[in-house]
């Protein structure tokens, strides 16, 4: 591949891998099905119970109204609970429910098994190349995030 093709290849391939993985995970899941954006928000709330909607939006690089919509869906499905922030009654604090924690745990286990299975199908050189690329991908994500923070 020519060096000039890398940006286009990478920009197209990463979302495609994510969509394919989410589609596979979603197809075998019991109701209520946890979609990708819902799983990302639930993962964040489980890691940071009591997080504000605005902080979650910033962490996920989403608009606050988009996160509010996701929160409404997760609350309606009993996977998340929302409480008023005692320090600012206009803000909401988010907490996972026990059902949400269980659903997230299942999602993570299924996602890990999916990638483990498909990585095992690659040869050792491909697995090593993917492992070697991870630090660079993390730096790329950090660079994109910092540029986005400067323009926000």
Which carries the bigger pLDDT value, residue 147 or residue 112? 112
- Contact call for residues 29 and 79 (beta carbons, < 8 A): no
Q: What is the DSSP string of 16-72?
A: HHHHHHHHHHHHTPPSSP--HHHHHHHHHHHHSTTEEHHHHHHHHT--HHHHHHHHH
The confidence score (pLDDT) of residue 151 equals 38
Please state the rounded mean pLDDT for residues 125-148: 90
Pairwise CA distance, residues 86 & 67, whole Å: 20
pLDDT digits (tens, 9 = 90+) for 40-79: 999 999 999 999 999 999 999 899 999 999 999 999 999 9
Please state the rounded mean pLDDT for residues 97-124: 93
Nearest to 31 by CA among 79, 82, 80: 79
| Percentage above 90 pLDDT, the chain | 59
pLDDT band, very low/low/confident/very high, at 152 (cuts 50, 70, 90) = very low
> What angle, rounded to 10 degrees, do the helices at 98-120 and 36-47 form?
120
Domains of the chain and any CATH numbers? 31-121 (1.10.10.10)
- Contact call for residues 94 and 82 (beta carbons, < 8 A): yes
């Amino acid at each position: 591949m020519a060096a000039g093709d890398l940006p286009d290849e990478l920009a197209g391939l990463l979302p495609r891998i994510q969509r394919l993985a989410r589609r596979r995970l979603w197809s075998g899941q019991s109701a209520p099905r946890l979609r990708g954006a819902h799983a990302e928000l639930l993962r964040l709330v489980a890691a940071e119970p009591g997080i504000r909607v605005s902080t979650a939006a910033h962490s996920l690089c989403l608009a606050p109204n988009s996160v509010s919509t996701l929160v409404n869906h997760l609350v309606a499905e009993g996977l998340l609970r929302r409480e008023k922030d005692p320090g600012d009654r206009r803000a909401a604090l988010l907490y996972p429910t026990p059902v949400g924690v269980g659903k997230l745990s299942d999602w993570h286990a299924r996602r890990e098994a999916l990638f483990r299975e498909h990585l095992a199908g690659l040869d050792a050189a491909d697995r090593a190349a993917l492992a070697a690329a991870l630090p660079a991908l993390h730096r790329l994500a950090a660079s994109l995030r910092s540029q986005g923070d400067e323009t926000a």
